[in-house]
Every structure is written in structure tokens, then in C-alpha cells.
């Protein structure tokens, strides 16, 4: 393995954690305008802004191009191979959905829905664990509410898990 490739992977991992923390900061900044039914929406523009702030060598326009190229590469891999595995994140996979009969909600008329391909996502273990923490926090908040304690809005927690000590495989070079 080339030394530069190893440095690149370490930098990618560090950048992922920085972006995650910055997204948490965006969440905190938007908390005042938070509408529970809509949730907080982090856009591609927010991601571009946080990455370009962290990587001072890149302008927002350059960062936008990198982010868009990344998304395009993911789409291209899905179309070509039908599956893409991003370690420590999850797996995107194209699966066929069978033809079925459905009902038009306006008219009640039965409609044939043709067979089609859909993209599915299965989160990785790290993501599953972090999302599961939301359920635990909600359960604690409900328990506190039932006990009559004063509730404070949930604060975005920084990443509890440190970056991996050894770099994982890259999506563009993994051959599985």
C-alpha cells in the first residue's frame, strides 16, 4: 500500500468525523426553529459549507464539485453493480420490486403497478448504534416526564466513538 494512500484514508476518516460534528452544530444552530413534525434538515449545501470550512484549501465551489462527484459515483456504482458497501456507514443495494395491484386513493379504482427497481439502504453497525441511542434518550425523557422532572431539549452529542485506529477500505477500491 502506498504511503500517500494510507494518509488519504486517515484524512478521509478524520474528515468524516469532523463533518459529523459540524452537522451536529448545524442541528444546534437550527434548534430554535425546530419543528418536531419536520425535523432538522441538513442539505447538501450545509455539508459543502462544513467541509469547506474544515479543509481550508478548498473553496465552497470546489467542495461542491467533490461532493457532487461523490454522489454521482455512488449512483453510477449502484446502476453498474447493483450494490455499494460503504464501511462504517451502510450498504446501498438495488432490488427488484414485484408488480402488484394497488388502489387509487381518490377514486378507489384498482390500478396495476408495474415491476420496478428500488434502492434500499441497510445502515452499518455504527449508524445503528447511534440511532438506537435516540430511542434510549427518548425513553429517558419520557421517564423524566412521568417522574415530574423539568425537561431540557436534547443536545446534540459529539461523536462518542473515536475514529478507527486503522483505516478501513475505500469504496472505490474495495473489491468484494
Looking at the DSSP assignment, which residues form a beta bridge with residue 96? 117
Sign of CA dihedral 173, 18, 154, 42: negative
* Overall pTM > 0.95: no
Give the burial class of 95: count Cβ atoms within 10 A of its Cβ; 0-12 exposed, 13-18 middle, 19 or more buried.
exposed
Vertex 139, ends 40 and 89: CA angle to 5°? 50
Extents of the domains making up the chain: 3-147
The grid coordinates listed for 59 are: 473553496
Q: What is the pLDDT along the chain (176 residues), one digit of tens a residue?
A: 444 544 555 555 565 665 666 556 655 555 545 555 567 788 999 999 999 999 888 899 999 999 999 999 999 999 999 999 998 899 999 999 999 999 999 999 999 999 999 999 999 999 999 989 988 988 888 888 888 765 555 555 555 545 444 444 444 444 44
Task: Indicate the CATH number of 3-147 among 3.40.47.10, 3.30.460.80, 4.10.520.10, 3.30.70.1450.
Answer: 4.10.520.10
CB 53 within 8 A of CB 22: yes
Residue indicated by cell numbers 403497478: 113
Q: How far is CA 3 from CA 6, 8, 171, 174, in A?
A: 5, 9, 18, 18
Q: At 126, which helix (H) or strand (E)?
A: helix 125-147
Amino acid at each position: 500500500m502506498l504511503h500517500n494512500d494510507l494518509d488519504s484514508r486517515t484524512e478521509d476518516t478524520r474528515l468524516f468525523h469532523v463533518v459529523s460534528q459540524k452537522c451536529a452544530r448545524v442541528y444546534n444552530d437550527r434548534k430554535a426553529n425546530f419543528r418536531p413534525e419536520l425535523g432538522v434538515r441538513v442539505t447538501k449545501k450545509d455539508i459543502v459549507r462544513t467541509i469547506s470550512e474544515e479543509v481550508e484549501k478548498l473553496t465552497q465551489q470546489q467542495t461542491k464539485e467533490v461532493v457532487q462527484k461523490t454522489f454521482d459515483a455512488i449512483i453510477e456504482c449502484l446502476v453498474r453493480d447493483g450494490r455499494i458497501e460503504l464501511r462504517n456507514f451502510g450498504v446501498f443495494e438495488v432490488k427488484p420490486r414485484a408488480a402488484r395491484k394497488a388502489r387509487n386513493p381518490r377514486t378507489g379504482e384498482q390500478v396495476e403497478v408495474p415491476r420496478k427497481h428500488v434502492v434500499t439502504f441497510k445502515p452499518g453497525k455504527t449508524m445503528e448504534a447511534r440511532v438506537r441511542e435516540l430511542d434510549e434518550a427518548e425513553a429517558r425523557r419520557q421517564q423524566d416526564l412521568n417522574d415530574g422532572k423539568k425537561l431540557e431539549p436534547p443536545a446534540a452529542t459529539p461523536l462518542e466513538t473515536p475514529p478507527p485506529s486503522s483505516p478501513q477500505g475505500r469504496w472505490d477500491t474495495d473489491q468484494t
